[in-house]
Amino acid sequence: MKKIFENKYFVISARIILGAIFVYASLEKIANPQAFADIINNYRVLPVQLVNPLAVFLPWLELITGLFLMTGKWVKGSLLIYSTLLVIFIIALSQALIRGLDISCGCFSVDPSTTSNVWLRTIEDLIMLFFSVNLYRYSIRGNLKTEKSII
Amino acid sequence: MNKRTLLQIGGILLLTLLIGVFYNITNPNRIPFFGEEKVVDFTQSDSLLNALRIQDSIQRAADSIKNLSSHREDSLRLLNEKRMQDSILAKNKSDSLKRIQDSLTALNGKDSVKNAELKDYVKPVDIKLDFAKALFDKKYRFIDARDASDYNAGHIQGAMNIPFHDFDKYKDVLEGLPKDQVYVTYCSAACDVSIDMAYAMAKMGFKKVYIFHGGWDEWKEAGYPAN
């Protein structure tokens, strides 16, 4: 495991893939903030006053974090935010599963009819979290020499 | 976590905040930064149900008196009496019905007319299960705002499926419906599409839209007619 995360090419590829996933996930949400706000509201975990601010800023946070990861700028900060967001997503999805809410995940699409994919998205998020946490760990150790490079 | 990482996080958050605010201000699809809570108000539901029940009992009483009177048709004296009774009854009935209708309209329209003037639409009314059932018995139209798959899995008997998520696709169907009739929107229990649908219909000019908040879940649990 350690060897894999010390491999320069693997690290760069993982960073670009993780970043691209967040960039892709953010685009539709940025284009349809109201639809995304409705999806957040369906999770029924936030007071209604916080739903709209989250619908406005979260997609941009995903996009900016994703772009920084892809370009290799501010990698440590980006990975920390990335991992924190994934933990939040996993908690939100899990509570929806436990409460039996039949909702759209809102992960990649803001189409509310795309239901029943919450399990799959939770597993995907767990896998992404595994990679981002490990990348962060190795970046702290100085093995990830990407802070000054674009790729 | 060192200082540099903290600065990076701060930078990313600040950048997000600035771009997010700027984009939301300039975006034609912008949303308000702070959403409003959807307040459910059931105060009219019970009053309307009582009015409807009184209306029904008067109707039933009128019918039974009419039936009793029909046995006396061979007697001229009784016939005259019946005619007199009928005319009095008809007058009373129409007066009572008018009064109830007025009270219904007053209840239903008091806030609605005010809102219509302010917002250019008649505000939908929040209703509970018992009133929804009364409207169902009166054969008013129910609109299922859930997606087709949920509708096909089970719905209120005779309900029409207009998924709110495909609202634009079904706009023509709604345009074809008479605007002055009673409509009841519903979804499942933990959902908002019935509210969204009701307000969208009201904004299209529908004047008597009711939101059944208990939705399909409550209806099914009560064992009321379903498909």
DSSP codes, B113-145: HHHHHHHSSPPPEEE-HHHHHHHHHTTPEEEE-
The whole domain housing B118 covers: 43-222
Q: Does residue B20 belong to any structural domain of this protein?
A: no
CA distance A142 to A92: 33
Q: Does residue B1 belong to any structural domain of this protein?
A: no
* Nearest in space to B131 (alpha carbons), one of B209, B53, B56: B53
Q: Are A33 and B27 in contact (CB under 8 A)?
A: yes
CA distance B82 to B68: 10
Q: Does residue B213 belong to any structural domain of this protein?
A: yes
Q: Does residue B29 belong to any structural domain of this protein?
A: no
CA distance A140 to A54: 29
Report the Cα B114 to chain-centroid distance in Å: 18
Total domains in the fold of chain B:
1
Report pLDDT for B95.
64
CA distance B96 to B90: 10
Report pLDDT for A15.
92
Give the ipTM of the model, two decimals please.
0.86
Q: Does residue B100 belong to any structural domain of this protein?
A: yes
Q: Does residue B205 belong to any structural domain of this protein?
A: yes
Does residue A53 belong to the interface with chain B, where contact is any CB pair within 8 Å?
Answer: yes
Give me the CATH number covering residue B100.
3.40.250.10
Q: Mean pLDDT lowest for which of A82-96, B18-32, B35-49, B97-111?
A: B97-111
pLDDT tens string A64-116: 999 999 998 899 999 999 999 999 999 988 888 887 776 677 777 766 655 55
Q: Does residue B206 belong to any structural domain of this protein?
A: yes
A64–B9 CB contact, under 8 Å:
no
User: pLDDT averaged over chain B?
Assistant: 80
Q: Does residue B5 belong to any structural domain of this protein?
A: no
Chain A: nearest CA to B147, how far in angstroms? 7
pLDDT tier, B164 (very low <50, low <70, confident <90, very high otherwise): confident
Using a CB-CB cut-off of 8 Å, the residues of chain B touching A22 are none
pLDDT tens string A18-61: 999 999 999 989 988 888 888 888 787 888 888 889 999 999 99
B143: β partners? B160, B185
B184 three-state secondary structure: strand
pLDDT tens string B189-200: 767 788 888 988
Nearest to B31 among A56, A76, A102 (CB): A56
pLDDT tens string B126-142: 888 888 988 898 889 99
> Which tokens belong to B33?
């930064």
